Amino acid sequence: MIKPLKTADLIIAAGTDAADLRYVSGFAAPDSFLWFRCGGECAIVVSQLEYSRALASVKPGVNVLLLENLGARSWVDAALTIARSRGIGTFRVPADFPLALAERLRGGCVGVVAQMGTFCPERQFKSQTEKDAIIRALRVTEQGMRRAVEVIGAASVGNDGVLRYDGEILTSERLRFEIDSRLLRLGAVAVDTIAAAGVQSAAPHQVGSGPIRAGVPIVIDIFPRMNDSGYWGDLTRTVAKQEMAPVVAAAYDAVKRARDLTEPMMVPGAIPADIHCRAQQILTEAGFPTGRDQNGAYGFFHSLGHGVGLEIHEDPRISPGNRQPLRGGEVITDEPGVYYPAWGGVRLENMIYVGQNGAERLTVIEDDPVIP
């Protein structure tokens, strides 16, 4: 009797870039390596260059195999060898698995089926070790924010209203450099740190450029990844030098209220869509409606939050389209904001752990909207 061919899981990627690969294997390398799971067997295949480091890093239960011992010259050759020796007929792969690799596997008479959606849905629920790693990343992130506040606080205001620091005009680029430099010294790397001032802050992902002036909102959004663990922190504050215009101050109060009132809602059983809609209701009632005109969207037009872990944006989404209840163990952001092209934007972000006993705020840095 011919035994049916098996279906196994497969990832071929660089562990420093592929969150699922790092999660299932415990190993990170700048070059690609292979991971597979077939029945009760779980293993990675690495080159001799990474073998000793992989042995010391992999999760319990993950075997380390040498590419050279398989008689393979490429990762596809290794996957085909594994398939033939274990009776595997189909590999289940992540949705972003390279098409060229998939075609080569199919050319070797092994099927490839992409897993639509999250390849490792269990990543959404953090262990205590993962939670601790995220908290550590967040503490480093907070140091980056403190550096931003230090620089703005030390800046002087010229007669033209432009800030000057260290003998030069303070620009978004210089402020971003100061933030990122602090993070680097603490073992983290940030990409696209946001330091957007004035009307630039009306675009949520505008990183900011040019001189910073007193009295305008400065949205600072910092999201670095720790070099050693691969986990991310995420933090946003909105500040102004010396004073906030009345409309900005009112928006700040409304956004802070929306953030603080939705935080206790982030508990097991809560519906993310309901939490998002509550934030939007608070902002609308405070006089900051959401809509769209000839200039584009205005108000609160992004989701309230998202999961954070080995990726900066992962499940669950705290958005109006997500009605899957929170289950507990998620680490999510709570980051309402309002944006109006006439004057700019305000966004405030904390990180929350969805605990069995309620929402636990992980962020400890203070809210100081006006910097003298």
Per-residue pLDDT reduced to its tens digit, 197-212 = 999 999 999 999 999 9
Residue 23's CATH number: 3.40.350.10
- Judgement on whether residues 194 and 332 belong to the same structural domain of the protein: yes
Instruction: Yes or no: say if 136 and 116 are a contact pair by the CB < 8 Å rule.
Output: no
Question: Dihedral sign, CA of 112, 118, 120, 121?
Answer: negative
pLDDT tens sequence across 169-181:
999 999 999 999 9
Range of the domain at 109: 6-119
Helix, strand, or coil here: 279? helix
Average pLDDT score over residue span 94-106:
96
For the chain, what is the domain count? 2
Residue among 38, 35, 36, 37 at smallest CA distance from 6: 38
pLDDT tens sequence across 111-139:
999 998 889 999 999 999 999 999 999 99
**Average pLDDT score, the chain:** 96
How far apart (Å, rounded) are the C-alpha atoms in residues 46 and 61?
A: 16
How far apart (Å, rounded) are the C-alpha atoms in residues 126 and 132?
A: 9
pLDDT for res 2 = 57
Among 71, 87, 119, give the residue marking a domain's end: 119
pTM exceeding the 0.85 threshold for the entire prediction: yes
Among 83, 103, 119, give the residue marking a domain's end: 119
Residue 167's CATH number: 3.90.230.10
pLDDT for res 3 = 66
- Judgement on whether residues 146 and 20 belong to the same structural domain of the protein: no
- Judgement on whether residues 92 and 15 belong to the same structural domain of the protein: yes
- What is the 3-class SS of 128-189, one letter each residue? HHHHHHHHHHHHHHHHHHHHHHHHHHHCEECCCCEEEECCEECEHHHHHHHHHHHHHHCCEE
